[in-house]
């Protein structure tokens, strides 16, 4: 398959982790005989510094003319600590999502057996947790009208949703539930918010088209608690933009590290793949950032284009690296590997896999030769 992939490394650890996913995708292309073409562009603080815009026109054009976008991370503390900043890096990501029509953000969360003992949550609660969050991505309070009064004494962010916006993501979430454990939980705040009541009404109506899927509802405050108390109850979670943002960070604790959580943002015509973590400025350039979330996002890219075997190869190699403890410091505290080494190991596994039969002993051997 021929794919043109726009690479937007962005800020902080974005460039170093994205570099690893590109390595892995190149290994996939070599092994499975595909042709992936990569082209880089600026976004975020990196783009503001050079071109005064968090999403330069050339970047947007490149993304529109590519089959997929591989996104790194966005954000810089110099803007976080300045509430008066007129331009912010995050605006680049939000505009990109809107312009590309990426209305559904898909965030899978699962507990890796090996990492369960390290989780701050009790093992018997999280063992077997496996869910996917469908977060609406181009509506709600993120994109409603914003204003600050001239006297600076009040401000407003409007939250609004249309039936159409709810319907298009709801269908994707129901279809996913049909392929999984046939349970969909709508997370909202319908006891308080008008928009949430519209979500409930619309989703209840759509559920009739998916009789095999069991639909239930949770208020977001309760959902936040249930995520920690009993995460195995979830299969597919469907929710609006802001609730999805918050719940997916919370859910990352189940996976053992936020450095493992990937996401796909899809629309009618475009698709973007990005880790759910931020730019982690304190780690920039130190070689300690976990590249796995970005690499698993690349696996979601492959899946999106129907390259299932290829995506499996990437996911399998990640699972093996975790099993063998070839991990960055967030996971492997005592004997950690650098960002580049972990990426190189996964790249090596994918390229070498034909020569290495999949068993632990050989992989240990592989580990020594590849690293
Ligand atoms: C995410 C991030 C973004 C969001 C920020 C960087 C704007 O937290 O993708 O979850 O809030 O959507
Ligand atoms: Mg977030």
Q: Which atom of ligand 1 is nearest to the CA of 241?
A: 12
- Higher-confidence position of 292 and 257: 292
Report residue 365's pLDDT band, with 50, 70 and 90 as the boundaries. Answer: very low
Q: What is the mean pLDDT of the chain?
A: 94
Closest CA relative to residue 249, chosen from 289, 277, 211: 277
Ligand 1: which residue has its CA nearest to atom 10? 245
Which residue owns the Cα nearest ligand 1 atom 11? Answer: 245
Q: What pLDDT, on the 0 to 100 scale, is given for residue 80?
A: 86
Smallest-distance ligand from the CA of 250: 2
Counting every residue written for the chain, the total comes to 371
For 45-94, the pLDDT digits (tens) are 999 999 999 999 999 999 999 999 999 999 999 998 888 888 999 999 99
Q: In CATH terms, are 1-102+276-371 and 103-266 the same topology?
A: yes
Could you read off the pLDDT of 10-34 as tens digits, one per residue? 999 999 999 999 999 999 999 999 9
- The alpha carbon of 371 and the centre of ligand 2 are apart by a number of angstroms equal to 33
Ligand 1 atom closest to the CA of 245, numbered from 1: 10
User: Rounded to whole angstroms, how far apart are CA atoms 77 and 8?
Assistant: 19
* 157 Cα: distance to centroid of ligand 1 (angstroms): 16
> What is the predicted pLDDT for the residue at 13?
98
Residue in 23, 134, 188, 189 annotated catalytic: 189
Residue 98 in this model has a pLDDT that exceeds 80:
yes
**Beta carbons of 325 and 341 less than 8 angstroms apart:** no
CA–centroid distance, 332 to ligand 2, in Å, is: 24
Ligand 1 pocket residue status of 133, Cβ below 6 Å: no
Angle, vertex CA 39, rays to CA 35 and CA 43, nearest 5: 145
CB 251 less than 6 A from any atom of ligand 1: no
Percent of the chain with pLDDT over 90: 89
Query: Which ligand 1 atom is the nearest neighbour of the CA of 105?
Result: 9
pLDDT at residue 355 above 90? no
Give me the pLDDT at residue 354, please: 52
Residues 255-277: tens digit of each pLDDT: 888 999 999 999 999 999 999 99
Instruction: Indicate whether 358 pLDDT > 70.
Output: no
Q: List the domain boundaries for the chain.
A: 1-102+276-371, 103-266
Would you identify the CATH topology of the domain 1-102+276-371?
A: Isopropylmalate Dehydrogenase (3.40.718)
Taking 50 as the threshold, does the pLDDT of residue 366 lie above it? no
The CB of 245 under 6 Å from ligand 1? The reply is yes
Q: Are 17 and 8 in contact (CB under 8 A)?
A: no
**Cβ of 314 less than 6 Å from ligand 1:** no
- For the residues 238-249, what does the mean pLDDT come to? 97
Q: What is the mean pLDDT of residues 249-256?
A: 91
Inform me whether the pLDDT recorded for 367 exceeds 60: no
Looking from the CA of 298 toward its CB, the CA atoms found within 13 Å total 34
pLDDT at 357: 45
Q: 């979830």: which residue's tokens?
A: 234
For the segment 314-335, the average pLDDT, to the nearest whole number, is 94
Residue 83 confidence (pLDDT): 84
Q: Is 221 annotated as a binding residue?
A: yes
pLDDT given at position 353: 62
Residues 6+ apart with CB under 8 A from 2: 34, 35, 36, 37
Say whether pLDDT at 370 is over 90. Answer: no
Measure the CA–CA gap between 60 and 63, rounded to whole angstroms. 5
Percentage of the chain beyond pLDDT 70 is 95
Q: Which residue has the higher pLDDT, 367 or 305?
A: 305
Q: Does domain 103-266 have CATH number 3.40.718.10?
A: yes
Is 135 annotated as a binding-site member? yes
Residue 210: the pLDDT is 98
Asked if the model's pLDDT at residue 371 lies above 60, the reply is no
The secondary structure of 207-271 as a DSSP string is HTT-TTSEEEEEEHHHHHHHHHH-GGG-SEEEE-HHHHHHHHHHHHHHHS-GGG-EEEEE-SS-E
């Amino acid at each position: 398959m021929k794919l043109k992939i726009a690479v937007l490394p962005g800020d902080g650890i974005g460039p170093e982790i994205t570099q690893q996913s590109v390595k892995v995708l190149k290994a996939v292309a070599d092994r499975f005989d595909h042709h992936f073409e990569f082209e880089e562009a600026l976004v975020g603080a990196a783009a503001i510094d050079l071109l005064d815009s968090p999403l330069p026109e050339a970047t947007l054009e490149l993304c529109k003319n590519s089959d997929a976008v591989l996104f790194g991370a966005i954000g810089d503390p110099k803007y976080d600590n300045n509430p008066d900043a007129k331009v912010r890096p995050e605006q680049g990501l939000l505009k990109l999502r809107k312009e590309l029509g990426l209305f559904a953000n898909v965030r899978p969360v699962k507990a890796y057996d090996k990492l369960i003992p390290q989780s701050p949550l009790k093992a018997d609660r999280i063992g077997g947790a496996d869910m996917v969050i469908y977060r609406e991505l181009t509506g709600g309070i993120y994109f409603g009208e914003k204003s600050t009064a001239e006297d600076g004494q009040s401000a407003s962010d409007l939250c609004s949703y249309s039936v159409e916006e709810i319907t298009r993501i709801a269908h994707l979430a129901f279809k996913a539930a049909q392929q999984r454990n046939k349970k969909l939980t709508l997370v909202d705040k319908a006891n308080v918010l008008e928009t949430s009541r519209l979500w409930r009404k619309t989703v209840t109506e759509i559920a009739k088209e998916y009789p095999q899927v069991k639909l239930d509802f949770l208020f977001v405050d309760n959902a936040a608690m249930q995520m920690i108390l009993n995460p195995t109850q979830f299969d597919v979670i469907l929710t609006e933009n802001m609730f999805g943002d918050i719940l997916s960070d919370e859910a990352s604790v189940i996976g053992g590290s936020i450095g493992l959580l990937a996401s796909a943002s899809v629309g009618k015509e475009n698709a973007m793949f990005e880790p759910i973590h931020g730019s982690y400025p304190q780690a920039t350039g130190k070689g300690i950032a976990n590249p796995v979330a970005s690499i698993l996002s690349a696996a979601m890219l492959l899946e999106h284009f129907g390259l299932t075997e290829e995506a499996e190869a990437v996911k399998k190699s990640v699972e093996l690296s975790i099993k063998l403890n070839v991990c960055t410091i967030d996971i492997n505290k005592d004997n950690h590997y650098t960002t580049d080494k972990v990426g190189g190991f996964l790249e090596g596994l994918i390229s070498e896999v034909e020569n290495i039969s999949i068993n632990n002993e050989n992989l240990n051997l592989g580990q020594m030769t590849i690293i």
